[in-house]
């Protein structure tokens, strides 16, 4: 009789984020012998995920945005899913799935939990009303979630790890640093820069926390100095996020002529080839995948310095040039 394959379940809020950031990891786990389940809110990527040989478990209650009492229904939904699938390992990606998934895993008695902290949200940055109270609440719930037996925690940079340790959130839970989700170097490779007017690109979810306001301000400064450049925003609006930029604001900037808004793009290798310079002036990040993609594409990068200060970015660039770390 053949032995049953071990079961891995990945919990992520949105299917597009899973497809962009975790599909390679999930497929590698499948090749290693795992039966892989993906629990997520289904929008446009479910068929592609299934075509990769993964089982999609649609969620109706888990949403992006600030936590609320209504999210207790999400915890119940995830708990029921864990009891039904009976995974050997669950992998929770980002703060909200980490908290709710860990509580559900405790109730369903999942033996092994891998929690990935892919950066800290607006409640920790302090850019929303009531951020201080929300931050204190999030510290308590994260401490409770990460204390679930069988847990391990992955951070993308040392600053976040140190913050969790110094704040007492991490406790005695084992943790390690993996700098970023990685990129597929068969898709991203260096190419000649486009000629003509230089294209300066910010590719991210369109949030104030990503530094979009600073990007637009820089575009205005260069325009005032009569320096010829096209400033391009690539990404989707996120109306549920408290720091999301309204679509009307984006269209107003575009009508003003200060920036171009290309909307959401699925083909990032082709999109990055259209740029001369990639900019990401974000307030706080885990390890932005777009910076790895830009480095792999041979594009210059302007970004905030927190990753450089803890020496994560140079190491990542070395690995990208080694052409094999993330293949």
Tokens of 116: 């990935």
Q: What is the DSSP annotation of 198-223?
A: -EEEEES--BGGGTHHHHHHHHHHHH
For 271, the 3-state DSSP assignment is: helix
Residue 149 CB neighbours (<10 A): 12
Q: Residue 242: its pLDDT value, please?
A: 80
Task: Decide if 7-177 and 199-322 have a common fold.
Answer: yes
Nearest to 79 by CA among 69, 68, 90: 90
CB 283 within 8 A of CB 209: yes
Q: Residue 134: its pLDDT value, please?
A: 73
Nearest to 161 by CA among 183, 148, 150, 146: 146
Token pair 């950031």: residue: 21
Give the chain's largest Cα–Cα span. Answer: 74
Q: Residue 130: its pLDDT value, please?
A: 53
Nearest to 179 by CA among 30, 282, 312: 312
Residues of the chain with pLDDT under 50: 307-327
Residue 71 DSSP code? G
Token pair 């171009």: residue: 260
CATH fold group of domain 199-322:
Rossmann fold (3.40.50)
Length of the chain: 327
pTM: 0.81
Task: Report the side by side order of strands in the sheet with 230-234.
Answer: 260-261, 230-234, 199-203, 277-280, 300-303
- Integer angstrom CA distances of residue 71 from 4, 14, 76, 99, 212: 34, 15, 9, 11, 29
Domain ranges of the chain: 7-177, 199-322
Tell me: domain 7-177, CATH 3.40.50.2000, correct? yes
Q: Residue 133: its pLDDT value, please?
A: 74
């Amino acid at each position: 009789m053949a032995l049953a394959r071990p079961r891995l379940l990945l919990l992520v809020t949105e299917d597009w984020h899973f497809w962009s950031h975790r599909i390679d990891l999930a497929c590698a786990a499948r090749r290693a012998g795992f039966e892989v389940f993906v629990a997520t809110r289904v929008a446009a990527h479910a068929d592609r995920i299934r075509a990769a040989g993964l089982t999609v478990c649609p969620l109706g209650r888990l949403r992006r945005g600030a936590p609320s009492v209504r999210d207790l229904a999400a915890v119940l939904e995830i708990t029921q899913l864990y009891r039904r699938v009976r995974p050997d390992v669950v992998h929770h990606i980002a703060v909200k799935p980490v908290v709710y998934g860990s509580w559900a895993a405790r109730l369903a008695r999942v033996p092994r939990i891998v929690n990935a902290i892919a950066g800290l949200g607006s409640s920790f940055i302090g850019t929303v009303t009531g951020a201080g109270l929300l931050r204190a609440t999030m510290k308590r719930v994260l401490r409770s979630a990460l204390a679930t037996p069988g847990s391990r925690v992955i951070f993308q940079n040392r600053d976040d790890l140190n913050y969790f340790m110094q704040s007492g959130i991490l406790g005695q839970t084992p943790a390690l640093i993996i700098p970023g989700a990685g990129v597929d170097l068969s898709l991203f490779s260096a190419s000649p820069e486009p000629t003509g007017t230089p294209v300066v690109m910010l590719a991210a979810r369109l949030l104030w926390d990503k530094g979009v306001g600073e990007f637009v301000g820089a575009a205005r400064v260069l325009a005032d100095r009569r320096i010829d450049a096209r400033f391009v925003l690539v990404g989707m609006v996120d109306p549920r996020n408290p720091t999301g930029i309204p679509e009307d604001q984006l269209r107003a900037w575009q009508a003003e002529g200060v920036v171009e808004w290309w909307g959401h793009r699925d083909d990032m290798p082709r999109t990055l080839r259209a740029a001369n310079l990639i900019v990401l002036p974000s307030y706080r990040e885990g390890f932005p995948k777009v910076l790895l993609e830009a480095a792999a594409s041979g594009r210059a990068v302007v970004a905030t310095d927190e990753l450089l200060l803890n020496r994560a970015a140079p190491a990542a660039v070395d690995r990208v040039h080694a052409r094999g770390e993330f293949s």
